[in-house]
Amino acid sequence: MSRVRMGMVGGGPGAFIGAIHRCAAALDGEIELVCGAFSRDIGRSRQTGEALGLSAERIYDDYVSMIETEAALPASDRMEFVAIVTPNKMHFPVADMALRNAFHVFCEKPATFDLDEALKLRKAVLDSGCRFGLAHTYIGYPMVQEARARVAAGELGEVTRVLVEYTQGWLSSAAVAGKEEPSWRLDPKQAGASSAMGDIGVHASNIAEFVTGLGIVSVLADLGAVVPGRELDDDGTVLLRFSNGARGVLVASQICTGEANNLSLRVYGTQGGLEWQQQEPNTVVLKFVDRPDQVIRTGDPFVGAGAQAFTRTPAGHPEGYIEAFANLYRAFASDVRQTGNRPAWRGQVHVPGIDEAVRGMAFIESVVASSRDQSVWRTMGEAV
Amino acid sequence: MSRVRMGMVGGGPGAFIGAIHRCAAALDGEIELVCGAFSRDIGRSRQTGEALGLSAERIYDDYVSMIETEAALPASDRMEFVAIVTPNKMHFPVADMALRNAFHVFCEKPATFDLDEALKLRKAVLDSGCRFGLAHTYIGYPMVQEARARVAAGELGEVTRVLVEYTQGWLSSAAVAGKEEPSWRLDPKQAGASSAMGDIGVHASNIAEFVTGLGIVSVLADLGAVVPGRELDDDGTVLLRFSNGARGVLVASQICTGEANNLSLRVYGTQGGLEWQQQEPNTVVLKFVDRPDQVIRTGDPFVGAGAQAFTRTPAGHPEGYIEAFANLYRAFASDVRQTGNRPAWRGQVHVPGIDEAVRGMAFIESVVASSRDQSVWRTMGEAV
Amino acid sequence: MSRVRMGMVGGGPGAFIGAIHRCAAALDGEIELVCGAFSRDIGRSRQTGEALGLSAERIYDDYVSMIETEAALPASDRMEFVAIVTPNKMHFPVADMALRNAFHVFCEKPATFDLDEALKLRKAVLDSGCRFGLAHTYIGYPMVQEARARVAAGELGEVTRVLVEYTQGWLSSAAVAGKEEPSWRLDPKQAGASSAMGDIGVHASNIAEFVTGLGIVSVLADLGAVVPGRELDDDGTVLLRFSNGARGVLVASQICTGEANNLSLRVYGTQGGLEWQQQEPNTVVLKFVDRPDQVIRTGDPFVGAGAQAFTRTPAGHPEGYIEAFANLYRAFASDVRQTGNRPAWRGQVHVPGIDEAVRGMAFIESVVASSRDQSVWRTMGEAV
Amino acid sequence: MSRVRMGMVGGGPGAFIGAIHRCAAALDGEIELVCGAFSRDIGRSRQTGEALGLSAERIYDDYVSMIETEAALPASDRMEFVAIVTPNKMHFPVADMALRNAFHVFCEKPATFDLDEALKLRKAVLDSGCRFGLAHTYIGYPMVQEARARVAAGELGEVTRVLVEYTQGWLSSAAVAGKEEPSWRLDPKQAGASSAMGDIGVHASNIAEFVTGLGIVSVLADLGAVVPGRELDDDGTVLLRFSNGARGVLVASQICTGEANNLSLRVYGTQGGLEWQQQEPNTVVLKFVDRPDQVIRTGDPFVGAGAQAFTRTPAGHPEGYIEAFANLYRAFASDVRQTGNRPAWRGQVHVPGIDEAVRGMAFIESVVASSRDQSVWRTMGEAV
């Protein structure tokens, strides 16, 4: 079974998430990195590519030359998809050119700089017939798949209440004291309209919709910059209303001093509740009134098809963040194979794509608009 | 050391909280129940009093005759304070008459039916020179006292973010299916303007203010009745703004199916964070950026004076809800002794009184008003 | 319902466990402390009695005069049972004299100084027709009762494996540095043959037998004094063999630096497992192979009669160590009432008595003998 | 940087651990699988190799032809090391031949079939000048490295007590009901003298020695087959004595129904204690008497060099079992590069090798001998 060939844009020296993408793509031995344009600085791009063992002619100076050159290679050699791990501002231009050249795209979140770009991206994806995958990594955890399956099976009854949080402390005063501000994430020209919502809140809205199977229809937000001098928010709360009328609340904050990467989701329904926490991702708890709470673990023999497809080890061998990420890559690579009519693994899993891309950008824009307007309720919009 | 003499209004057969008040008052052997009017049903009042070993002449038919009769007894015999454990509607009339007759009052929360009554109660307390204690039980946990002490000592720096939740599931669809609705708590004529906020949200706002040492100055709320047919809300979220500008969010819900009594508090500051959870109340966690998180336990030798005063057992012997409640009773009884110039135990503790009573009612009213007005920001008001 | 009248021997100033006994006896308002001989130092005995509000004539100089004097009082006035909270050495003499004078006895563990005394005590109890209760406090937790019920109902299948631990750090080098050694617990003349096993190991063997419903039939032990200079052990491990052949291991240690009071029990059977931990006592977890683990909590509506009888509050209101202790006192007081043909509360609970007293002492002696003999297997003996 | 070339013996269809080895080797992109003899069944070997994308001429029928053929290839093409993932019985013959042909070896544990083989293997390693790595995977967790560093730095004082457990339930009656017994692990001809100790107990002894920096000098064991009809044990407890006199206890069991892969380690010293659990591997807790317990997490900025070298993601992104495994592979590959005078990554980490191989086999043999001889103390032997 030949590997799926990947090119990368972004991910040069010091870029945390690029290295993670490469580990995740490598894990199952089904994807091969064949080329890259890793930095706008040509020297740094070459340095990265060489350390990764790429041949010199497939380390490119920029994404334009990469896409053009690769498109001209024989079909059996050229990359099959592009992984985009640049700052947000560059996601759309790279993805758009790749799609126009018939390359599939796997992209970091948030999908684009703003909602307008996301709508254009959706059109480009549909026009191209190519696959678009979005790195909502947390969907790749087996117990998140299981949570969705349990809700879909009606074990909670009708969903009535959602509590979702994503708290970090890496931008708190104590964490940034004496250091430079992270270059692009707090810059509205590169990151977009929100830091807290664009970087982490959009993960939270995505997982809430994914697990409940419901859409967020309106939001009311209170955002702010807690650390003085920032142009973008670093903290916010959003009241949610879901498509079935259920109430929700979403907290996203980068200034919760002492928190690491604390994404948690609780969903309650007429018949039961569930809880999942990213920092201990291999358990999901179901809660009931008239019988004991249930603890389900990655690798348990009775979990659903989605969780099984995303599990490599027997119960009790913790599957971590990179495995979750690798699950998305593996499913995406399988989709790419199918497009090419090659045999493909395909677990029964749902992974994020262009629809989630558009919804995420609509969420960010609606939230920012609500907060600017003294926290009024905003609908997420017809287009979405 | 003679015991402080207590009378009780409410707490008849089947009243959960009345029995808890009696256990809590009994625990340390410093308070003696000497009389009571336990139910509006005379037979039930007598049944309760006899089971408690009270002499027949001190089991009263109603609170009016109890207060009048006790006031006429010799000072060395008559009750010294009244514990009020009736439905909310009756708190003020009983407390007011007791205070007018120079009896101290220890009252269930919420303090009164509405804010107007709370303001009257404050005047009555001040006029009487008597003590008023409020059953914000969770303040009685040693680790809540410790949390307050740590914040006050500046270990978190300036408080920037507060997350407080109180979720229960006992009024969810699954929990109430086939049963009668709890008689008075969902009745606006007896409970007041809110169920979720009056029964549990007010505990959450109290503990948030207690631990941070900050006042809530404005609120924005989204309340609702999730189970169809209810006149009062059973679920709500409140955005908070504290006196120093810090953002907060408060969730209070009685329909989170599968949750028992899940009060939790997280406070973040410029230098650190803290977390406390009522269901495992004997630990508080301090979180930092540049050094390990710290876990502090009830009974640890290095805790502050408040936590020490509220601890009976060595570390590792869990102190529970009744002990927390007993701590408030013990501190209140000590206050009563001091008023009477008798020797009194007095740990260095802060316990809720009339100020917290007024703030709590103002919180409830502001929240209800905000929610009714499509979730606008409301200030808590000058009077408070 | 008149209270049951209690006298106390031991529990003077500074004696932690005496004060806990008094709180536990007071909690439910069903027991009244009427007399005591609190210290061998007469002044300290009086000081304690007066602080507790006892009348001067019922504060005694020693247990002999107390028992003699009380025995001469009218039946309606005199104490009904004696609570013994002295060092181990005095348990038997006090209990024996009390039983001979027809007083019931509630005694701290270990029941006696050695096995020989325990066998004599059993005879004295049987001869007297009185009740004997033993303060194996942890049996008083609702979830320990539930654990026993679940095993008895066969939910784990046949028990095959037991892991029980009781670790503390209060006698570790770090804890005792610069302090005096605790006076009597490390003195073989007052404490008996073992510190670690007599003080805490015997709790562990008791709870293991209680929950499994199986007897320990043989032991192999490795004890030692970790902190130099001690005459008694402060640490040990015991291999266990139960009556059905199941293997077990018991760890009891007072030198596990940083542990507070870490009693935990795990039981495995052919069909399932269970886990309970004293420091978070309100949950018990059942573990299975082919279905989710179950978490059961104090107050859950579906627990058995034993757990229900020992619960005062709704789920989510933590019941602590003193409540567990009070459960034993309440059940014992009920037994005393029944002996006197008075109406009595009686939940369907099993509480420790003279059989557990004898088994505990046999366990300690067998363990010490095994360890002294280079860790050979020892049977627990026919007499037991 | 060219990849290190790996061959594999074992790991055919259905072999869980072979697939994990391949994922672990692939994760960091520094190792390339170039050949393999995956099964004694030639068809299955080819099937596996083809699915992995190997060219047909490097999928071998057996390890002998693989080693011979690879040894004859040009140095720049041939494999550099062999990963051995066969049943225990085959470890030594494969390793021995590989070493004689100057191939480095990375081997599953236990290292060999018995101690005699392990001693021969040590000689073969020393004679060859090659590297030998042993798959004690749990040493690859960052927080295990941190635990070792903290002990080595004296934060616990002198180690006085060790509690280590490895409990699983996959061989319990409930788990095996109606299924065939796992083919080779319970067969003394293939697995060696013990199942519980050979499969998991040896991990427990390894981690205890690794973290404490102490050697086990004598053991006393009680092993048995809980499920009837087994030739090898499935459960056991071992009393330990460490080189400094500290007591320990080790539990290894495959019949703890409901447990998944529950390896835990607690170490106590004169000044503090520590706890680590494999199922939540990203935290280690330090425990103290006179100051708060400390929680340290993977990715915390203040951890030591070993933990940092083994961490890929920021704090809060769980690193799992495969990452731990990959850490060992990465360190081993780096060692292989250094042997070849190529530039190599080398974090400051300690990973298991031939010394741990010999110690592990000596442990297993001593334990089995003690248990057979009615649980007598056995020294681990001079040779080790």
Considering chain B, what percentage of its residues have pLDDT values greater than 70? Answer: 97
Query: Letter for the amino acid at C46?
Result: R
Q: What is the predicted pLDDT for the residue at A180?
A: 80
**Residues A147-161: what's their mean pLDDT?**
98
Which of these ranges, A96-100, C22-26, C264-268, C344-348, has the smallest mean pLDDT? C344-348
pLDDT of A270 higher than 90: yes
pLDDT of B35 higher than 80: yes
Q: Which H, E and C letters describe chain A, residue by residue?
A: CCCEEEEEEECCCCCHHHHHHHHHHHCCCCEEEEEEECCCCHHHHHHHHHHCCCCHHHECCCHHHHHHHHHCCCCCCCCCEEEEECCHHHHHHHHHHHHHCCCEEEECCCCCCCHHHHHHHHHHHHHHCCCEEECCHHHHCHHHHHHHHHHHCCCCCCEEEEEEEEECCCCCHHHHCCCCCCCCCCCHHHHCCCCHHHHHHHHHHHHHHHHHCCCEEEEEEEEECCCCCCCCCCEEEEEEEECCCCEEEEEEECCCCCCCCEEEEEEEECCCEEEEECCCCCEEEEECCCCCEEEEECCCCCCCHHHHHCCCCCCCCCCCHHHHHHHHHHHHHHHHHHHCCCCCCCCCCCCCCHHHHHHHHHHHHHHHHHHHCCCCCEECCCCC
The confidence band for D1, taking pLDDT boundaries of 50, 70 and 90, is low
Pick the closest to residue D344 from D360, D331, D361, D326 (CA basis): D331
> Between chains, do A29 and D315 touch, taking CB under 8 Å as contact?
no
Q: For residues B188 and A266, what is the distance between their CA atoms, to the nearest angstrom?
A: 30
- Alpha helical stretches, state H, chain B: 16-26, 42-51, 63-71, 91-100, 115-128, 142-152, 173-176, 188-191, 196, 202-212, 305-309, 321-339, 354-372
Q: What is the predicted pLDDT for the residue at D231?
A: 94
pLDDT of B161 higher than 90: yes
**Residues C44-52: what's their mean pLDDT?**
93
Q: For residues A346 and A331, what is the distance between their CA atoms, to the nearest angstrom?
A: 6
Task: Assess contact for B112 and B68: CB atoms under 8 A.
Answer: no
Q: Is D349 exposed, middle or buried (0-12, 13-18, 19+ CB in 10 A)?
A: buried
Q: Model confidence over A285-332: pLDDT tens digits? A: 999 999 999 999 999 999 999 999 999 999 999 999 999 999 999 999
pLDDT of B382 higher than 60: no
> Between chains, do D161 and C226 touch, taking CB under 8 Å as contact?
yes
Phi-psi region of C339 (alpha: psi -120 to 50; beta: other; left: phi over 0): alpha
pLDDT of C200 higher than 90: yes
For an interface test with D, give the residue of C160, C163, C376 to mutate (most D CBs within 10 A). C160
Q: For residues B71 and B82, what is the distance between their CA atoms, to the nearest angstrom?
A: 12
CA distances for B258 relative to A283, B240, B255, D5, angstroms:
17, 26, 9, 53
Query: Letter for the amino acid at D249?
Result: V
Q: For residues B233 and B368, what is the distance between their CA atoms, to the nearest angstrom?
A: 9
**Residue B356 forms contact with C (CB below 8 Å):** no
**Residues A47-75: what's their mean pLDDT?**
96
Which of these ranges, A167-176, A210-219, B302-311, C334-343, has the smallest mean pLDDT? C334-343
DSSP D109: S
Q: What is the predicted pLDDT for the residue at B181?
A: 75
Residue C225 C-alpha, separation from nearest chain B C-alpha, in angstroms: 23
Q: Model confidence over C155-196: pLDDT tens digits? A: 999 999 999 999 999 999 999 988 887 768 899 998 899 999
> Between chains, do A290 and C296 touch, taking CB under 8 Å as contact?
no
Q: What is the predicted pLDDT for the residue at C383?
A: 55
Q: Model confidence over B199-227: pLDDT tens digits? A: 999 999 999 999 999 999 999 999 999 99
Q: What is the predicted pLDDT for the residue at B349?
A: 75
pLDDT of A384 higher than 80: no
Residues in CB range of C36: below 8 A, 6 or more apart: C7, C8, C9, C11, C45, C48, C49, C52, C54, C58, C59, C60, C66
Residue of C nearest to D293 (CA): C258
Q: Centre a 10 Å sphere on the Cβ of residue A294 and count the other Cβ atoms it contains.
A: 21
The mean predicted confidence, pLDDT, of chain D is 94
pLDDT of B383 higher than 60: no
Task: Assess contact for D168 and A316: CB atoms under 8 A.
Answer: yes
What angle, rounded to 10 degrees, do the helices at C142-152 and C202-212 form? Answer: 40
pLDDT of D13 higher than 90: no
Cα angle value D148/D154/D158 (rounded, 5°): 100
Task: Assess contact for D196 and D233: CB atoms under 8 A.
Answer: yes
Which is it for strands A235-242 and A216-224: parallel, antiparallel or unpaired? antiparallel
pLDDT of D382 higher than 60: no
**Residue B179 forms contact with D (CB below 8 Å):** no
Cα angle value C331/C336/C342 (rounded, 5°): 105
Q: For residues A17 and A322, what is the distance between their CA atoms, to the nearest angstrom?
A: 11
Pick the closest to residue B139 from B325, B335, B283 (CA basis): B325
**Residue D295 forms contact with B (CB below 8 Å):** yes
Q: What is the predicted pLDDT for the residue at A346?
A: 58
With contacts defined as CB-CB under 8 Å, which chain B residues touch D290? Answer: 301-302
Q: Centre a 10 Å sphere on the Cβ of residue A263 and count the other Cβ atoms it contains.
A: 22
DSSP D350: -
With contacts defined as CB-CB under 8 Å, which chain B residues touch A271? Answer: 173-174, 257
With contacts defined as CB-CB under 8 Å, which chain A residues touch D16? Answer: 313-314
- Alpha helical stretches, state H, chain D: 16-26, 42-51, 63-71, 91-100, 115-128, 142-152, 173-176, 188-191, 196, 202-212, 305-309, 321-339, 354-372
Residue of A nearest to C301 (CA): A290
Helix (H, G, I), strand (E, B) or coil at D113: coil
Q: For chain D, what is the radius of gyration of the CA atoms? A: 21
The mean predicted confidence, pLDDT, of chain A is 94
pLDDT of D215 higher than 60: yes
Query: Letter for the amino acid at B61?
Result: D
pLDDT of A188 higher than 60: yes
Helix (H, G, I), strand (E, B) or coil at C89: helix
The mean predicted confidence, pLDDT, of chain C is 94
Residue C98 C-alpha, separation from nearest chain B C-alpha, in angstroms: 25
**Residue C244 forms contact with D (CB below 8 Å):** no
Q: What is the predicted pLDDT for the residue at C13?
A: 87
Q: Give the pair of three-digit tokens for residue D270.
A: 């004169």
With contacts defined as CB-CB under 8 Å, which chain A residues touch B293? Answer: 258
**Residues B148-158: what's their mean pLDDT?**
98
**Residues C104-119: what's their mean pLDDT?**
96
Q: What is the predicted pLDDT for the residue at C2?
A: 78
CA distances for D313 relative to A24, B303, D102, D155, angstroms:
12, 35, 36, 26
**Residues D270-288: what's their mean pLDDT?**
98
**Residues C231-253: what's their mean pLDDT?**
97
DSSP D300: -
The confidence band for B348, taking pLDDT boundaries of 50, 70 and 90, is low
Q: What is the predicted pLDDT for the residue at C76?
A: 93
**Nearest Cβ partner for A272 among B258, B266, B272:** B258
**Residue D174 forms contact with C (CB below 8 Å):** yes
CB pairs under 8 A between B and C: 120
Residues in CB range of C38: below 8 A, 6 or more apart: C8, C9, C10, C11, C12, C18, C44, C45, C48, C49, C59
CA atoms within 13 A on the CB side of B256: 25
Q: For residues B98 and B10, what is the distance between their CA atoms, to the nearest angstrom?
A: 14
Which of these ranges, A12-16, B278-282, C91-95, D196-200, has the smallest mean pLDDT? A12-16
Task: Assess contact for A173 and A227: CB atoms under 8 A.
Answer: yes
- Alpha helical stretches, state H, C56-140: 63-72, 91-100, 115-128
**Residue A101 forms contact with C (CB below 8 Å):** no
Q: What is the predicted pLDDT for the residue at C277?
A: 98
What angle, rounded to 10 degrees, do the helices at C202-212 and C354-372 form? Answer: 120
